[in-house]
Structure 1
Amino acid sequence: MLRMLIAAALFLGAAPALAQQDGSQPQMERVPDRPAGEGQGPFGTLLIKNATMIDGTGAPPEGPVSILIEGNRIARIIRGGGEVAADRVIDASGMHVLPGFVDVHGHNGDPSKAPQPSYGFKLWLAHGVTSVRGVGFGGGADDPSLDQRARSAANTITAPRLFAYAVPGDVWPNGAVRTPEQGRAWVRWIKQRGYDGIKFFNMEDPATFAAINDEAEKLGLGTVAHLGQRGVAQVNGRTAVELGLDGVTHFYGHMESLLADGSTPHYPADYNYLDEQSRFAWVARLEDQAVEPGSEKWDEYVDFLVDSGVTLSPTFNIYAASRDVSAARNREWHDAYTLPSLMDFYAPSLTNHGSYYHDWTSEDEAAWKRFYAKWFALTRDFQDKGGRVTAGSDPGYIYQTWGFAYISELEMLREAGLSPMEVIQAATINGAREIYDPKGSEPPFGSIKEGKLADLVIVPGNPLANLKVLYGTGHVRLNRESNTLETQGGVRWTIKDGVVYDARALLADVAEMVEAQKAAR
């Protein structure tokens, strides 16, 4: 019976809720209203003065620049800096201002990890993330996504701007989607409810997959897919794009489209998809079966992806622990900012999804490093040939804590070969366009332009020179003149929709949540 329960949990790809002492299951809490003083504004006029601006479009930095905001919109960009009358003034001298970051792969709905969603929301905001695409934020009949999105839009909760995607067959009362007709009906249903798009998992029927994509395009809904291994023999990366998919997240589907020999991967004799250690240890070995970068088949596939207009959101960070589990387990932010319940979830487990390194060896880590080299190469070649890459963090799994995981993703995009400016584009305008292209409109955020929404990040230090200044813990360095350690950076202010959040205060709130849970234990 235990083996059957474990297999069922792994098959679902999610962790079962952990029973509380009274035998009941933990429930996700409702996000509290934004308390007075937490986030100020929007103001009649707000001035950010004398910053160096990185506008998100790829244009070079320029400064000093002062930015005048009226309500929740950028009214004027004053090149050369200076001060004009305003209801509030933020002196950003010596700091950089960027568009608010966009996380295109967010989750925030598992009470066994973090029962209060504001924990993740505050960590995102504290790291400059002002927009998140939820894929999804909960699910099921009681999916909180639309309620949270509406409250965030009204600025009545402390949260980034939210976009709600749903999984086929989820969030409606009619059960699984198994036919093209059911798929189209489900798409029309979620459109009527107000969802922004669709997240696919393991879509095994090409006809239904195509019908959902087609209906979504007609109705202005976005689509993105995790092309899981149960369905990838029928719908790999190439097939999914041919069938109308807008975006591919993670690595799934790519290597299966680049096999050097045969049409399906060669699985080892003892492979078991329901055993997550087997599943993820084998993933890295898939690298050996794919053709080499620069080969004819490789280049043809990259050209195909670019020509199709598909977007890649690789989420490199979420599997980074596979390269070095010890390093991921001991990140410097865990003690202060990762909830004990979340650390419990991260630990090796037979039931918790992603906690698969049960007996993780140096051979496994070496294999994953080789896999990353090929995955990096694919992403870099796609970017270099004109493809759109975006930044998503998939937080809450595999030692990837909200906010910190997003900055880790930016560092890994840099490691893959994107230039620092291309990384900022991925984090800002590219993510905004991935969300808004299906809607048929230019995004109202993602770049610093007059008329755009006032979604901004103000950070001491230069992220183009060192992305580490964006971490909530900052960048620790030695002052060579005084021979003392000092911390540089950490986002100072995050402005979302004209509301100014003190990033340090948000982190202090999160630290209090962590300490309260420790004390309760």
Structure 2
Amino acid sequence: MRIARHMLAALALAFTTAAAAQQGMEPVPSRPTDEGEGPFGKLLITGASVIEGTGTPPMGPVDILVEGNRIAQLYPGGAPEDVRKAAQKTVDAKGMFVLPGFVDVHGHNGDPDKAPQPSYGYKLWLAHGVTTVRGVSFYFGPGSPDISDTQRSAANTITAPRLIPYAVFGDKWSRGDPDTPAKAREWVRWAKANGYWGVKFFNSETPEVFKAALDEAELQQMGTVAHLAQTGVAEVTARKAIELGLDGVTHFYGHFESLLKDGRLVRYPDNYNYMDEQSRFGWVARLAPQTVEPGSDEWNEYVDFLIDKYVTMSPTFNIYSASRDVMRARGFDWHAKYTLPSLMNYYAPSPTNHGSYYKDWTTEDEVAWRGFYEKWFKLVHDFHRKGGRVTAGSDPGYIYQTWGFAYIGELEMLREAGLTPLEVIRAATIDGAREIYAPLGQEPPMGRIAVGKLADLVIVPENPLANLKVLYGTGHTRLNRETGVIEQVGGVRWTVKDGIVYDAPALLADVARMVEEQKAAR
């Protein structure tokens, strides 16, 4: 048994233990009969401009015919009259924009201290157009409801996105620590047999165990993604993990340690303490000056290495963005109405809550993080420009990042990193879907608007290519120059998941009710 993984899980990351994860969590209620309409034999969405997902520019008006849970036909200019008459449900999307359902490749749910009712997060995701979420993990500990939630979502008996369950390596079972290559392989086979699609690593295994688990995961057609934590990165950087067979790197961990310009190890100050999260995150930003410069031979060689190995980057820029301006993050527009009091309490500076590290956050810390983001953005941009796959993940429930809203924040930050708006939408749709389905050797059934694909769609009144802010549930504030009135525009109007039409504002209203009830109870 290796102490790093236990220290990481129990202390550094403060992930809930098996008992705590379940105690206080409420079961997800069945979907009410009046929540979501369909699926229909024939659903017709009319008059929309279509943003198809792969990078094709918008086109419209187009009518979209959905039969059951699949896109049956696209009618540029409009459907024939007989098709219109045969539709059991028509959604008038004239002047609106239709996109593929968004894919969040980095989701969590299931901490009673933050949000004891999982439908809170599920509804916020759907209200922001997120129709597929990869959980890494959704919950933690043996007996957790990852698989039952997945099955209920697939059957549409709960109001939730399509759920893709990953398990953290070594979690979920009760057969002891998989601390040998043989036990690592046994755990991976067990996870596959129990319905998990992939494995999330925290880089706290020995390289031999890590290699065995990665190799078995490939044999089992399971995806692999890693948060390459500081506790293991001295032995296994991103370069090393990818050489061992890792499919995807989330966050920034491991990349900067692969690009050090002077020595093999990060130079920490003498008083550094990884278990003090302010120390841990404050000094993350001090990595940037220790690395080679963008455009150097070493930098370009590393980017080419990532491309050659077909690795996927899911940077989750948003989850650390408060480090650049913590006062802004505390005052996000949505907190008052849509963030649970228990969640705001969790976000507040704390010696124990993971990510609640702003106990004495200074101008120097924020300036250092802004510099760190410059290099991080550049690395992702250069990787993407050379053909690397970048996907969108939100890692919600930490550091002032509330479900759904955090995902749109990630799209804005991908834009800040240099992806064009069409490239951002591609990262959020087809590329996210392809990351999930690549281990199976399959083209995904969703992620683009095309005949035969699953009817996972986002319908928005405003053009997100002109302004991604119109995707926030709180909308976008602008002045009407003709009337002089300040208007709130945008927000998703309808989310279609598996052919079921959800009223996004109604989902948000239900979330607001949850928030008010918790406030009243307190």
State the TM bucket, normalised to the shorter chain.
over 0.9
Partner in structure 1 of residue 122 of structure 2: 121
Q: Specify the SS of the correspondent of 1:32.
A: coil
In the alignment, structure 1 residue 81 sits paired with structure 2 residue 78: yes
Give 1:54's aligned amino acid: I
**1:136-215 aligned within 5 A:** 136-215=137-216
**1:5-404 aligned within 5 A:** 11-14=11-14, 26-82=23-79, 84-85=84-85, 86-404=87-405
Contact 2:108-2:396 within 8 A present in 1 as well: yes
Contact 2:48-2:98 within 8 A present in 1 as well: yes
Contact 1:204-1:232 within 8 A present in 2 as well: no
Partner in structure 1 of residue 416 of structure 2: 415
Take 2:490 and 2:396, find their aligned partners in 1: how far apart are those partners?
A: 22
Shift of 1:11: 2.2
In 2 relative to 1, CA 297–406 (structure 1 residues): closer, same or farther, beyond 3 Å?
same
Take 1:349 and 1:118, find their aligned partners in 2: how far apart are those partners?
A: 26
Q: Specify the SS of the correspondent of 2:213.
A: helix
Give 2:196's aligned amino acid: Y
Shift of 1:52: 0.1
Take 2:411 and 2:156, find their aligned partners in 1: how far apart are those partners?
A: 27
Give 2:151's aligned amino acid: A
Take 1:422 and 1:359, find their aligned partners in 2: how far apart are those partners?
A: 37
Take 1:141 and 1:285, find their aligned partners in 2: how far apart are those partners?
A: 37
Take 2:53 and 2:234, find their aligned partners in 1: how far apart are those partners?
A: 38
Partner in structure 2 of residue 3 of structure 1: none
Shift of 1:142: 1.5
| Deviation sequence 1:295-324 (CA, Å, 0-9, x none) | 000000000001100000000000000000
Shift of 1:25: 9.1
Contact 1:64-1:81 within 8 A present in 2 as well: yes
Q: Any unmatched runs of 5+ in structure 1?
A: 1-6
Greater CA drift, 76-85 or 353-362:
76-85
Contact 2:200-2:224 within 8 A present in 1 as well: yes
Shift of 1:203: 2.8
Contact 1:43-1:87 within 8 A present in 2 as well: yes
| Deviation sequence 1:198-223 (CA, Å, 0-9, x none) | 00013341111111111101111000
Contact 2:12-2:274 within 8 A present in 1 as well: no
Contact 1:56-1:425 within 8 A present in 2 as well: yes
Take 1:141 and 1:253, find their aligned partners in 2: how far apart are those partners?
A: 29
| Deviation sequence 1:57-104 (CA, Å, 0-9, x none) | 111110000000000000000011246230000000010000000000
Shift of 1:8: 9.1
Take 1:399 and 1:15, find their aligned partners in 2: how far apart are those partners?
A: 17
Greater CA drift, 80-89 or 335-344:
80-89
Take 1:95 and 1:473, find their aligned partners in 2: how far apart are those partners?
A: 18
Partner in structure 1 of residue 465 of structure 2: 464
Shift of 1:175: 1.7
Contact 1:43-1:71 within 8 A present in 2 as well: yes
| Deviation sequence 1:367-417 (CA, Å, 0-9, x none) | 000000000000000000000000000000000000000000000000000
| Deviation sequence 1:456-479 (CA, Å, 0-9, x none) | 000011000000000000011000
Take 1:386 and 1:12, find their aligned partners in 2: how far apart are those partners?
A: 35
Q: Specify the SS of the correspondent of 1:266.
A: coil
Q: Give the TM-score normalised by the residue count of structure 1.
A: 0.96
Take 1:276 and 1:138, find their aligned partners in 2: how far apart are those partners?
A: 22
In 2 relative to 1, CA 374–489 (structure 1 residues): closer, same or farther, beyond 3 Å?
same
Take 1:292 and 1:9, find their aligned partners in 2: how far apart are those partners?
A: 33
Greater CA drift, 221-230 or 203-212:
203-212
Contact 1:104-1:390 within 8 A present in 2 as well: yes
Q: Specify the SS of the correspondent of 2:131.
A: strand
Shift of 1:248: 0.2
In 2 relative to 1, CA 8–283 (structure 1 residues): closer, same or farther, beyond 3 Å?
closer
Contact 1:454-1:498 within 8 A present in 2 as well: yes
Greater CA drift, 167-176 or 446-455:
167-176
Identity of matched residues, %: 69
Give 1:55's aligned amino acid: E
Give 1:105's aligned amino acid: H
Give 1:48's aligned amino acid: I
Partner in structure 1 of residue 4 of structure 2: none
Give 2:509's aligned amino acid: A
Give 1:33's aligned amino acid: S
Q: Any unmatched runs of 5+ in structure 2?
A: 1-6
Contact 1:203-1:235 within 8 A present in 2 as well: no
Take 1:169 and 1:279, find their aligned partners in 2: how far apart are those partners?
A: 24
Give 1:68's aligned amino acid: L
Give 1:228's aligned amino acid: A
Take 1:308 and 1:183, find their aligned partners in 2: how far apart are those partners?
A: 23
| Deviation sequence 1:471-515 (CA, Å, 0-9, x none) | 000011000011111111100000000000000000000000000
Take 1:209 and 1:81, find their aligned partners in 2: how far apart are those partners?
A: 54
Q: Give the TM-score normalised by the residue count of structure 2.
A: 0.96
Take 1:218 and 1:356, find their aligned partners in 2: how far apart are those partners?
A: 40
Take 1:99 and 1:72, find their aligned partners in 2: how far apart are those partners?
A: 13
**For this pair of structures, how many residues does the alignment match?**
511
Shift of 1:111: 0.5
Greater CA drift, 8-17 or 407-416:
8-17
Take 1:295 and 1:57, find their aligned partners in 2: how far apart are those partners?
A: 31
List, as ranges, runs of 4+ consecutive aligned residues in structure 1 with deviation greater than 6 Å. 7-10
Contact 2:54-2:430 within 8 A present in 1 as well: yes
Q: Specify the SS of the correspondent of 2:368.
A: helix
Take 1:285 and 1:8, find their aligned partners in 2: how far apart are those partners?
A: 21
Q: Specify the SS of the correspondent of 2:98.
A: strand
Take 1:502 and 1:80, find their aligned partners in 2: how far apart are those partners?
A: 26
Q: CA RMSD in A?
A: 1.5
Partner in structure 1 of residue 506 of structure 2: 505
Shift of 1:15: 5.6
Give 2:265's aligned amino acid: T
Contact 1:10-1:274 within 8 A present in 2 as well: no
